[in-house]
Amino acid sequence: MITEAGSRKPEAGVQRLRAANFLACHLISIFCLLTSGCARQEPPADVTIINGGEPESLDPAIITAQIDSRIVAGLFEGLTRLDPKTARPIPGLAERWEISPDGKIYTFHLRTNLVWSTGEPIRADDVVYSWIRALNPATASDYAGQLYYLKNAQSFNEGKITNASLVGVHALDPFTVRVELKSPTAFFLDLCAFQTLCVVPRQTIEKYGDRWLMAKPLPVSGPYELADWRINDKIRLRKNPRYWDATNTQSEIIDILPVGSPNAALNFYEHGQADVVWDKELIPSQLIDVLIKRPDFHSYNYLGTYFVRFNVTKKPFDDPRVRKALALAIDRERIVKKITRAGERPAFHLVPDETAHYIPGDGLGYNPDLARKLLAEAGYPGGKDFPRFEYLFNASSGGDKIHENVAIEMQQMWRDELGIQMDLRQMETKAFWGAQSHLQYTLSRSSWIGDYNDPNTFLGMFTSTDGNNRTGWANPKYDALIAAAGNEPDLQKRAQIFRDAETILVRDEVPIIPLFFYVGVNYFDTNKIQGIYENIIDVHPLQTIRKVKTK
């Protein structure tokens, strides 16, 4: 659930702070340990990738940032993994599975040749341990909720029950894992590939505790081992010869560079010091119009939406007519052509069109005449007596000003079309998420990147009890529809239920205004690099990436 291209989730209070404190300590420890031999000559990497800033962690249960998850996906694997071309779940540590007729029981069969990179066997108990660890309140995982679909998982995570055996995951034998869900979950196989559900080494974690990532060698279940981690220099990954699919791992050594500046990233690339630049945030915005014409600029539709939140507890935004008026007065086409300029599409509904099992809900297009009519009906003809209000946004990643520029554009549209005045307020990102979470705003910029390819990752967060709602809006009918979708095994009927719910969200009640759909951007030369494929999740497994050999 990305709220920015670089982060999967907003700050989550005390748990997030505890995790951050732990991360700071163990990163220093890793640095001291892993750099002890860095003076010696080392072979060049097969592929060098610029990934963004320095990772906060490589613990699958802890990470929330996309820059972290890209690396973790190379180190640790789940029961499933995502196909690099389609981003659909395919067998991972589990070679096959069966699903009960009611869609609530999954029986996974592990590959019998699974071992950690250090040679010890990987068994069903390791899967159970990894999932229970992520749910354990002591782990303080921001993404424990990805396991709430399991029976009793939420109660265990919230401390309402303490017996882990009551949670719906059990090892039937060394190679069989039985999962019991609360209700049919169409995207559960996608979740099994998600970082939080990756399998981690129990013996190492129990031996080292919070410092388990310092273990040398570090046991991993994925296609690459952690060879080196030098803070503000690079992370070096080396092919794991004991990985079950090692014969298809294309590169022996991959270097990941922590470069957060778009200008620096482009310089590295242009001077041959990097083969791949991941993420639009690492493309200098002032050069988009030039770079987009080059063959090594790759832009594609992406499972992400940029939108505006209303705090509906504040007047006059407690009135749906006012919220609709503001939505109708936005020319989204102008925003994507003038500001974003990388192929983004105007969004009139929240969920991207390419999402699996999805029928778009009815939204509100550009109609300033209707906007003025609704504003007048709400008691503000021509904007008369409409209170001045504030729009909150955070600094954009990578140093560009996209959030500010979008805000300025809307400020002008609402002034010109509706006669209302808006002030802009920029806030440091961490404080911004805190203000939004505590409804300390009037209007706020927002965005969301789906964790899995299903409408629920977008629409589920606007139920009245979801912590990511952050609008003060609650609608019993909407809640009931989302709950009904969660219990509907028929995918077509489920899609229609989601459509009805989304129509309430973006047409009838409008606690949010969708603005545009994100695009994924990668920068690489297809004559030199292969194995990176466009997909809606922007997932690019490291094991498929290789440099083309020159004669």
Instruction: For residue 210, give the nearest of 68, 53, 20 by alpha carbon.
Output: 20
- Write out the residue range of the structural domain in which residue 407 sits: 304-519
Question: Domain of 102: which CATH number?
Answer: 3.40.190.10
Question: Is 289 domain-assigned?
Answer: no
Question: Is 299 domain-assigned?
Answer: no
pLDDT of residue 399: 63
| Phi, psi values for residue 25, rounded to 5° | -65, -50
Residues 502 and 540 in one domain: no
Residues 399 and 426 in one domain: yes
Residues 529 and 398 in one domain: no
Instruction: For residue 282, give the nearest of 3, 57, 51 by alpha carbon.
Output: 51
Residues 200 and 325 in one domain: no
Instruction: For residue 542, give the nearest of 225, 282, 271, 267 by alpha carbon.
Output: 225
Residues 342 and 463 in one domain: yes
Question: Domain of 422: which CATH number?
Answer: 3.10.105.10
Question: Is 390 domain-assigned?
Answer: yes
Q: What's the whole-model pTM score?
A: 0.85
Residues 426 and 364 in one domain: yes
Question: Is 244 domain-assigned?
Answer: yes
Residues 247 and 335 in one domain: no
Contact 502, 350 (CB under 8 A): yes
Residues 211 and 341 in one domain: no
Question: Is 323 domain-assigned?
Answer: yes
Pairwise CA distance, residues 505 & 518, whole Å: 20
Contacts from 493-496 at CB under 8 Å and sequence distance 24+? 494/186, 494/357, 495/357, 495/358, 495/359, 495/455, 496/359
> Over its length of 551 residues, how does the chain's per-residue pLDDT go in tens digits?
434 433 334 333 333 334 443 444 444 344 444 444 444 578 999 999 999 889 989 999 999 888 899 999 999 999 999 999 999 999 999 999 999 999 999 999 999 999 999 999 999 999 999 999 999 999 999 899 999 999 999 999 999 999 999 999 999 999 999 999 999 999 999 999 999 999 999 999 999 999 999 999 999 999 999 999 999 999 999 999 999 999 999 999 999 999 989 999 999 999 999 999 998 888 888 899 999 999 999 999 999 999 999 999 999 999 999 999 999 999 999 999 999 999 999 999 999 999 999 999 999 999 999 999 999 999 999 999 999 999 999 987 666 789 999 999 999 999 999 999 999 999 998 899 999 999 999 999 999 999 899 999 999 999 998 888 999 999 999 999 999 998 898 999 999 999 999 999 999 999 999 999 999 999 999 999 999 999 998 899 999 999 998 76
Residues 213 and 346 in one domain: no
- 98-130 per-position pLDDT tens digit: 999 999 999 999 999 999 999 999 999 999 999
Overall domain count for the chain: 2
Pairwise CA distance, residues 289 & 494, whole Å: 41
Residues 52 and 152 in one domain: yes
Residues 142 and 50 in one domain: yes
